[in-house]
Structure 1
Amino acid sequence: MEDILRSIYQERASQKNTLGIIQVEKDHKKNALTDTFHIVLLIIVKEQQNPVQIKHYHYNNSKAALHVVSEKQLNEWLLLGSNRKIVEWLYEGRILFDRNEYLESLRKELRDFPFYGRKIKTGLEFAKLIRRYMDGRSFFQMGHYLDAYNHIIHSLHHLARLSIIENGYHPELTVWSQVKQIEPEIYKLYEELVKSEESIEKRLELLFLASEFMIYSRTSVGASHLIDILKTKEKWSFDEIATHEEIIHYGVDLSILIEYLIEKDFIQTVDVETKGIGIYHRYYKIKE
């Protein structure tokens, strides 16, 4: 199989646009790593028309996947944490081609996890956590316990990822294995929610009580990226915040994050007059 694939990646390696090539082999202990394929080839290119191109191959009862990814798309995945497999591929894959030590430098950057990248990731993860937690709490108050359970499971997952990032690591596919070592209190919350023999209503009630403070205690760190940007101006319209070049990545989670920060006295609203009588624009500023 590898001999067959060599002709594919050697052709790519000869192209100046190619920055690096990594081969990831199937590991029976980590079957999810390669999506059941025997081999994954990851080729990173400087630029291409489609940010991601994927081809599948079959030979002698083996199957392989070829992923050709632009550098811009790769950087976006690493920043937003929206493709966790890519981090493990970069960590665990075998380097077949490396132009000007591009991949080695990238691996070093991932290991060092620069503070700036960590701060944005923390903000994005915290926003997702608040979205899931607030929606879960709302469903719980309405008596929709299964919907509340679904959201709270996701909120705990984001809380676990947030803890891992805070400790200077990239969240892997096996998040709960990581967080069990890093912050066992969060793991215990998760375990009690999924394993307890109490009624689902009682489990959720206890979890809301236990997690409220745990989430609130992380607010200063979790919201620091957004707060630091808001400090650069006296007041902001929502559109100004949402279209900021860094905040734009928060997407649909931004609105509920701001409402949470108002509720917790980190942000305050400012009324700005409009042409209509008794109608005001709602602006936002850091609480003094």
Structure 2
Amino acid sequence: MEDILRPIYQERASQANTLGVLVVEKKQNSNQLTDTFDAILIILVKDAEQPVFIKHYLYDDKKAALYVITEEQIKEWLLFGTNRKIFEWLDNSLTLFDRNEYIVNLKKELHEFPFYGRKLKMGLEFAKLIRRYTDGKALFEGHQFLDAYNHIVHSLHHLARLAVIDNGLHPELTVWNQVKQIEPEIFKLYKELVNSEETLEKRLELLFLASEFLIHSRTHEGAAHILDVLQGKEYWSINEMMNERELIPYSIDLGVLLEYLIDRHLVEVMQLETKGQGIFHRYYRVAEKLS
């Protein structure tokens, strides 16, 4: 297969802009890894007009996909976890070309998981967890049990990913297999939600109680990144936070995370006077006990 695909990548490999070339081949009797293709060819480049460029090919009654991905895009995916498939591809790939050991170092980073990236990813997962849990609980209290069930399943998934990251690993597509070994308590909750013979209302009631305890136990690690950023200034407006480079990835989950941290006395609300009588600006700062 490599000989057939060589003309596709050989010219690109000779270009100074190309950092590395990898191939992922379909596993026997499984289309899942390569999205039904027989081979995925990945070319990593320093710069390009498009962050991701894709082409499809046919050969010998088979099909291959070519992905040309910029260095900036691959780093964004690895940091924010917004393309989980790429983890699987990198882990199962064969290196065809590697300039200055770029691929070697990339795969090493993938497995070692640098501390800063881990801290940020934990913050993002924690924010998503709080969003799902908060919305799910509101739906449960409104007796919208099926919608609440959907949210609690997602919240448990974020809790599981948070536990995996906290243990220094990247969450894989099969995250529950990881969690079963690392945090069996979370895995048990998931099984109880899915397999219990209790009524849906009763299952949800028990899960919200148990989840609240587990979320509380993860708050220190989950909030560490945002609290570190907020300590950089005496106080913040919500607009300043939404436009702070390190907080932009939190996106729409920032507001609900902030309210959760206020409820947990980790962030304090400040009132600053406006021109209107009895109306105040609402600003935020890290709680004094943490400063």
1:245 aligns with 2:242: no
The SS at the match of 1:72 is helix
The SS at the match of 1:246 is coil
Q: Deviations over 1:42-79 (max 9, x none)?
A: 11110111111111112222111111111111111111
Aligned to 1:272: 272
The SS at the match of 1:33 is coil
CA gap of 1:242–1:267, structure 2 versus 1, over 3 A, is: same
Q: Deviations over 1:137-185 (max 9, x none)?
A: 1110111111111111111111010000000000111111111111111
Tell me the C-alpha RMSD between the 2 structures.
Answer: 1.1
TM-superposed CA distance for 1:228, in Å, is 1.0
Partners of 2:78 and 2:247 in 1: CA distance: 16
Give the letter for the 2:272 counterpart. Answer: V
CA gap of 1:74–1:262, structure 2 versus 1, over 3 A, is: same
TM-superposed CA distance for 1:205, in Å, is 0.5
Q: Which aligned pairs between 1:139-288 and structure 2 lie closer than 5 A?
A: 139-288=139-288
Partners of 1:270 and 1:30 in 2: CA distance: 56
TM-superposed CA distance for 1:215, in Å, is 0.4
Partners of 2:178 and 2:166 in 1: CA distance: 13
Partners of 2:40 and 2:111 in 1: CA distance: 22
Partners of 2:147 and 2:30 in 1: CA distance: 30
Partners of 1:85 and 1:20 in 2: CA distance: 18
Q: Which aligned pairs between 1:108-119 and structure 2 lie closer than 5 A?
A: 108-119=108-119
Aligned to 1:58: 58
The SS at the match of 1:127 is helix
TM-superposed CA distance for 1:28, in Å, is 4.2
Aligned to 1:95: 95
The SS at the match of 1:16 is coil
Give the letter for the 2:71 counterpart. Answer: E
> TM-score, normalised on structure 1?
0.97
Give the letter for the 2:250 counterpart. Answer: Y
Aligned to 1:83: 83
Aligned to 2:20: 20
CA gap of 1:28–1:280, structure 2 versus 1, over 3 A, is: farther
Q: Deviations over 1:71-109 (max 9, x none)?
A: 111111111011111112112200000011100011111
The SS at the match of 1:34 is coil
Structure 1 segments unaligned to the other structure (5+ residues): none
Aligned to 1:125: 125
CA gap of 1:267–1:28, structure 2 versus 1, over 3 A, is: farther
The SS at the match of 1:232 is coil
Q: Deviations over 1:227-252 (max 9, x none)?
A: 11111211110111111111111111
Give the letter for the 1:60 counterpart. Answer: D
Give the letter for the 2:107 counterpart. Answer: R
The SS at the match of 1:66 is strand
Give the letter for the 2:116 counterpart. Answer: Y
CA gap of 1:28–1:216, structure 2 versus 1, over 3 A, is: farther
TM-superposed CA distance for 1:29, in Å, is 6.9
TM-superposed CA distance for 1:200, in Å, is 0.9
Q: How many residues align?
A: 288
CA gap of 1:170–1:59, structure 2 versus 1, over 3 A, is: same
CA gap of 1:30–1:189, structure 2 versus 1, over 3 A, is: farther
Partners of 1:46 and 1:69 in 2: CA distance: 9
Partners of 2:32 and 2:245 in 1: CA distance: 34
Aligned to 1:37: 37
The SS at the match of 1:168 is coil
Partners of 1:224 and 1:216 in 2: CA distance: 13
Q: Percent identity?
A: 63
